[in-house]
């Protein structure tokens, strides 16, 4: 039986993964605005397509190390649902995952800015403070939580890269907010005054909506998949340390 990877290795994976996810989101947004300057719909299509594919690739590459959460909401729900059955993240893990994800996300936005010869930090001026956008974030986040845990507890976590990528790509279009669904990514997008940006003043409403969406998602899971916590070790994808020697305890680092 293999144990999960050491915490430091998982934190590297979460930092790099969340950072590259934001680089994909912001970088493809900059490219889309440049390549299709007169067609906002095409810009959104290009941004969504790149994000969906990029997210799937990152989950495939880093999921075996950390589970590829790349999202404080996913990590928090993983801890909440798994703490009773003794699966998933510990409170110590959660306290380390969230800062790593936020720091990685901000670094990813800076990297995207620099790759396109822009200022490392340019605070976004795109206002997104509106009730219908917050509702969109509730829907996007709740759906993401339900999808990830439904896959895990039904033994289909192996298809999470494609499924989660597809969900986020489609949610760009069916939610009014274009589906941020991630507090770390939301914070990072404030650091880039480009197509994918969000004004810092709009962040509190988005983050609150995402947290509420997570609560809604947990409620739906309680109704639909009451044993979802048993699969917390497989969120977003199964992750074990295949480089370690077999053990008989399986105690997470």
Per-residue pLDDT averaged across 121-144, rounded? 98
15-61 pLDDT tens trace: 999 999 999 999 999 999 999 999 999 999 999 999 999 999 999 99
pLDDT at 247 over 50: no
Domains of the chain: 7-227 (1.20.1080.10)
CA distance 53 to 50: 5
At residue 246, the pLDDT reads 40
Residue 5 has pLDDT above 60, yes or no: yes
Residue 242 has pLDDT above 80, yes or no: no
> What pLDDT does residue 206 have?
98
Q: Who's near 95: CB < 8 A, 6+ residues apart? A: none
Q: What is the mean pLDDT of residues 187-198?
A: 98
In this prediction the pTM is 0.92
Q: What is the pLDDT of residue 245?
A: 43
Dist CA 189 CA 26 (whole Å): 7
% of the chain residues with pLDDT over 70: 94
3-state secondary structure of 3: coil
Mind listing the pLDDT tens digit for each residue in 48-76?
999 999 999 999 999 999 999 999 999 99
CA-based radius of gyration for the chain: 18
> 243 versus 159: which is more confidently predicted?
159
């Amino acid at each position: 039986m293999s144990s999960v990877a050491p915490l430091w290795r998982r934190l590297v994976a979460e930092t790099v993964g969340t950072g590259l996810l934001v680089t994909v989101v912001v970088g493809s947004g900059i490219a889309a605005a440049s390549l299709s300057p007169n067609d906002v719909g095409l810009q959104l299509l290009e941004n969504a397509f790149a994000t969906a594919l990029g997210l799937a690739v990152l989950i495939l590459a880093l999921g075996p190390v950390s589970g590829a959460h790349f999202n404080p909401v996913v990590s928090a729900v993983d801890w909440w649902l798994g703490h009773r059955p003794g699966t998933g993240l510990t409170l110590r893990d959660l306290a380390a995952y969230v800062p790593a994800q936020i720091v990685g996300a901000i670094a990813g936005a800076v990297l995207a800015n620099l790759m396109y010869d822009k200022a490392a930090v340019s605070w976004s001026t795109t206002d997104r403070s509106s009730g219908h956008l917050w509702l969109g974030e509730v829907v996007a986040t709740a759906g993401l939580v339900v999808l990830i845990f439904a896959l895990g507890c039904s033994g289909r976590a192996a298809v999470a890269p494609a499924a989660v990528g597809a969900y986020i790509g489609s949610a760009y279009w069916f939610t009014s907010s274009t589906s941020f669904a991630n507090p770390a990514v939301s914070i990072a997008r404030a650091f880039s005054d480009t197509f994918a940006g969000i004004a810092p003043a709009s962040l509190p409403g988005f983050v609150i909506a995402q947290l509420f969406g997570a609560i809604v998602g947990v409620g739906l899971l309680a109704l639909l998949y009451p044993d979802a916590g048993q699969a917390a070790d497989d969120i977003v994808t199964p992750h074990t340390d295949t480089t370690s020697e077999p053990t008989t305890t399986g105690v997470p680092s």
